[in-house]
Structure 1
Amino acid sequence: MRSKSTLYILIFLLWTTGESIAQCAMCRATVENNINTGETSVGAGLNYGILYLFMAPYLLAMVIGYLWYRNYKKQKSQKTKVQHL
């Protein structure tokens, strides 16, 4: 069961990698175009977007880790209750 879910996660990550790499050229072209026309506000917005994309996987990992920890503690407390009976 565990190896099956790991395989699904790995396939999902490999599947989405190509789409994220393709966006780099689009962002660069947008920034270069806006700098050439004298507009600099897009660069600041792009920086916030980069920070958002940078933090999203870490936040997701923290949420998954917390849920895993909470589930582990719940299972452990249930086992100790059964042993005391």
Structure 2
Amino acid sequence: MKKTIFAGTLALLLGVLLSVLPLSVQAQCTMCKTQVEASRQEKDGYDTTGLNKGILYLMTIPYVLMGTVGYFWYRNSKKKKVANSR
């Protein structure tokens, strides 16, 4: 019973924290967009492929972390099912 209450509280806290974070993230995206638009208007603007690669790198990290957590969660639940069936 206590574990389910703890898990629910943790999920609620995580949801609240994640709902607050996108505000600062959107501000950073605006800065990147402004920089790219300014570089397009200049004749000698820098190459933006580095910026694109950085965005892709930052985008993949949450998916890798969630995939890792999901894998270990799946593996533990499978072990528990095997242990309970014996």
TM-score range with shorter-chain normalisation? 0.7 to 0.9
Which protein has greater RCO, CA pairs closer than 8 Å, 6+ apart? 1
TM-score (norm 2): 0.75
How far has the Cα of 1:66 moved from its partner? 0.3
Equivalent residues, number: 80
Counterpart mapping for 1:4-83 below 5 A: 4-35=9-40, 36=42, 38-41=44-47, 43-81=48-86
More helix by share: 1
Could you list the per-position Cα deviations for residues 18-49 of structure 1 after superposition, in whole angstroms to 9, with x for gaps in the alignment? Answer: 111111221022223333151332x1011112
Kindly, what percent of the aligned residue pairs are identical? 36
Structure 1 runs not aligned, ≥5 long = none
The root-mean-square deviation of aligned C-alpha atoms, in Å, is 1.8
